């Protein structure tokens, strides 16, 4: 099976409420993308900080938040178009 990537604003798993690791401001949910086979779906949520203007990605499987690079942010925007 080939993994598929799907962008959505209505994901299966509810995005968590998170704070920016830089300024401790509340992060704003932007969208989610899911990838994998039908048996093993994985979800990532994209968040934006309204104070620092950074973009972050939360991976549900690992429960980790990380800053996205400018190239990654552009790739998600292109896929969403």
How much is the pLDDT for 64? 96
Q: DSSP per residue over 56-74, as a string?
A: EEEETTTTEEEEPPHHHHH
- Pull the structure tokens for residue 73: 């942010």
How much is the pLDDT for 12? 85
Mean pLDDT of the chain: 86
Q: How many domains does the chain have?
A: 1
How far, in Å, CA of 24 to CA of 10, rounded? 25
CA-closest candidate to residue 12, choices 71, 50, 61: 61
pLDDT more than 70, % of the chain? 88
Residue-number span of the structural domain to which 39 is assigned: 4-80
72 pLDDT tier (thresholds 50, 70, 90): confident
Q: Is the pLDDT of residue 81 over 50?
A: no
């Amino acid at each position: 099976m080939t993994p598929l990537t799907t962008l959505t604003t209505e994901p299966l798993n509810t995005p968590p409420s998170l704070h920016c690791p830089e300024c401790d401001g509340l992060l704003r949910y932007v969208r989610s993308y899911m990838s994998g086979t039908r048996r093993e779906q994985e979800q990532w949520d994209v968040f934006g900080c309204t104070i620092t203007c950074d973009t972050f990605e939360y991976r549900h499987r690992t429960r980790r938040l990380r800053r996205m690079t400018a190239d990654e942010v552009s790739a998600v925007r292109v896929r969403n178009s």
